[in-house]
Amino acid sequence: SQQGEEDPQALSIQEGENATMNCSYKTSINNLQWYRQNSGRGLVHLILIRSNEREKHSGRLRVTLDTSKKSSSLLITASRAADTASYFCATDAFGGGNKLTFGTGTQLKVEL
Amino acid sequence: GAVVSQHPSWVICKSGTSVKIECRSLDFQATTMFWYRQFPKQSLMLMATSNEGSKATYEQGVEKDKFLINHASLTLSTLTVTSAHPEDSSFYICSARVPSDTQYFGPGTRLTVL
């Protein structure tokens, strides 16, 4: 399977704390994208980071990419209860026709 | 911008019937759309790539005669689950790719086959 792995599978933290999720993948990529999914809903695009980029920020989100290790991380700072959701990384493989391969996902729970 | 809609949001049907799911890009044109399915508490699995004006490209293991895809215009792709059975019950999600390579996803369609 080409599916990426994410860890942890589940994470529970207190509001205000930071949450870090990691993603590992297997192939060379054009870009890597992070998505968020609330239970039973569609996916919301968070950040796209290209293979020649190492770090990207968007509000409270920080994404890093290490192509030598084939890994990426998503950091959510000062988490809020509303951040509770599942988070997925997805890779756009080099020569893959823009198809996305999703990781296994991390379920984040932020408690008050 | 970059809004993708799906219709219906959920559908319950009897075994043996066919169900059509629509995916529309509301404020942009999408030459390429993708169809995924997701089982409870699992990740998304790509089923097929839908190209406007040409045949869809199916992933290995996906039956093209069972999951019919039509991409008739730059804003509409349809997925028809033919002769549905209970094992086809799942959450079906479409996405549309924009020139920046980002894919925007629809809200999903929950199919339950009795």
pLDDT in tens, B80-96: 999 999 999 999 999 99
User: In this complex, which of A33, A40, A42 lies closest to B102 when CB atoms are compared?
Assistant: A33
Contact B28, B96 (CB under 8 A): yes
Q: What angle do CA A30, A96, B44 make, to 5 degrees?
A: 95
Chain B residues lying within 8 Å of A40, measured CB to CB: 91, 108, 110
What residue in A sits closest to B35 (Cα-Cα)?
A: A99
The reported pLDDT for the residue numbered A3 is: 66
Residue of B92, B107, B109, B97 whose CA lies nearest to B39:
B92
B31 versus A56: the higher-pLDDT residue is: A56
The reported pLDDT for the residue numbered B1 is: 61
What residue in B sits closest to A49 (Cα-Cα)?
A: B102
What residue in A sits closest to B93 (Cα-Cα)?
A: A42
Q: What does DSSP assign to residue A80?
A: -
Contact B94, B103 (CB under 8 A): no
Q: What does DSSP assign to residue B56?
A: -
Does B100 contact A105 at a Cβ distance shorter than 8 Å?
Answer: no
pLDDT in tens, chain A (112 residues): 456 788 999 999 999 999 999 999 999 999 999 999 998 888 999 999 999 999 999 999 999 999 999 999 999 999 999 999 999 999 999 888 889 999 999 999 999 9
Residue with tokens 């809609």: B5
The reported pLDDT for the residue numbered B95 is: 95
First to last CA, chain B: 37
Q: pLDDT tens-digit profile of B3-17?
A: 999 999 999 999 999
Q: Which residues of A touch B (CB under 8 A)?
A: 3, 30-31, 33, 35, 40-45, 48, 88, 90, 92, 97-105
Q: What is the mean pLDDT of chain B?
A: 93
